[in-house]
Amino acid sequence: MKEFHIQWHILNRCNLRCTHCYQDDYSANSELSIEKLKAIADNIDRSMKRWKARLNLLLTGGEPLLKEEIFELFSYLEQKQTVKQLDIITNATILSKYIDQLEKFKKCKNILFSLDGVTESTNDKIRGSGVYKKVLQEMNLVESKRFKKILMFTVNKKNYEDAFKLVEFGKENNLDGIIIERLVPLGQSKDEFSNVLTKNMLKKLWNHLLIENGYDASKSYEYRALKIEYQKRNKKEKIYKTVIKVANCIVGQDGCAIMPDGSVFPCRRLPLVIGNLLNSELYDIFENSKILKDLTNRNLIQGKCQRCDSSFCLGCRAMVYAVKKNLYGEDPHCWK
């Protein structure tokens, strides 16, 4: 593989309690010392060297800026030649206090921040009172910095109509990109089944975003997420072109999630421990995990997902597991 993608959750602590959050623990119980975090970084580095791969790493939480040692970890990771990019996912409510420190790290190119509505009323019902105004205020401070601003939007029935307005929202707020993912009910949102989109709702949204921007939607059922990118000639110039990129499943392919205690998940929304980086090498976990092998074995998948002629789509195992409690069931979101 040429590149590997990791979302590293360095803590569970957070200053928000969003209704759709996939966490169910906000304590510091599983947090590691900086020495152990560096040991994990070394472990990842060894695997990238073995695979001759470059690493795209996202540090997140919880709220990662609450981790006292985050900048020491940033500095340590910045020195790793295998690390291609080192970005952060934040709720942006306390970003202004740390933005100057973040700017010191050249491999940190994007700030990914969360909103779940294009209006205050929609967002704050999900993320908490006052969050909408606070986040936009904080992100305005990034304008004078070199970072790209990427909005993370989790679509569900509460903000479904807002999702159709995201392209214009991004232009109005001078964003560089928007990533749209769907609600998977787990953690704090494990009882939010009524807010999970139906497959027809997701199809309508995916096809709208693709077709309206000049893209083929014939295989939109394969896409786990969409990314809207706004291309600009320079930082100050208004957006002049909108590009859509599609995200396919990383499970068993070219990515994983790491949890605060060093545990490895196939992806963050599929909470199955396949190993721990404090006692096993990442390459050994990834290359020899029976769970990963089974999840990518079409013969074990059930229903129309087994019969599908897609070359790589096996249905969203995270959604199947959350909704049906069956790792190998038919994807309820597939509209093929």
Tell me the C-alpha distance between 138 and 111, whole Å.
12
Please say if the pLDDT value at position 65 is more than 70. yes
Tell me the C-alpha distance between 256 and 249, whole Å.
10
Q: Which residues, 6 or more positions from 246, have their beta carbon under 8 angstroms from its beta carbon?
A: 222, 223, 225, 226, 227
As a residue count, the chain comes to 336
Tell me the C-alpha distance between 220 and 99, whole Å.
37
DSSP code of residue 307: H
Helix axes 131-140, 120-127, angle to 10 degrees: 110
pLDDT exceeding 70 applies to what percent of the chain? 98
Whether residue 273 contacts residue 264, with contact meaning beta carbons closer than 8 Å, is answered with yes
pLDDT per residue over 219-235, tens digit each? 999 999 999 999 876 66
The DSSP-derived string for 205-256 is HHHHHHHHTT---TTGGG-SEEEEEEE-SSSSSPP-EEEEEEE---BTTTEE
**Per-position b or e across 138-161, b if 16+ CB within 10 A of its CB:** bbeebeeeebbbbbbbbbbebbbe
Locate tokens 């990914």: which residue? 112
Average pLDDT of 131-158?
94
pLDDT for position 231: 86
More confident residue, 231 or 238: 231
- pTM for this structure? 0.95
Tell me the C-alpha distance between 266 and 49, whole Å.
21
- Cβ neighbours, 10 Å, residue 42: 12
Average pLDDT of 83-91?
98
Average pLDDT of 250-264?
96
And the tokens for 200? 């027809």
Q: Which residues, 6 or more positions from 207, have their beta carbon under 8 angstroms from its beta carbon?
A: 217, 220
Strands, sheet with 263-265, edge to edge from the N-terminal-most edge strand: 241-247, 225-231, 177-182, 148-155, 110-114, 83-90, 54-60, 3-9, 255-258, 263-265, 275-276
pLDDT for position 241: 82
Tell me the C-alpha distance between 195 and 192, whole Å.
5
pLDDT per residue over 272-303, tens digit each? 999 999 999 999 999 999 999 999 999 999 99
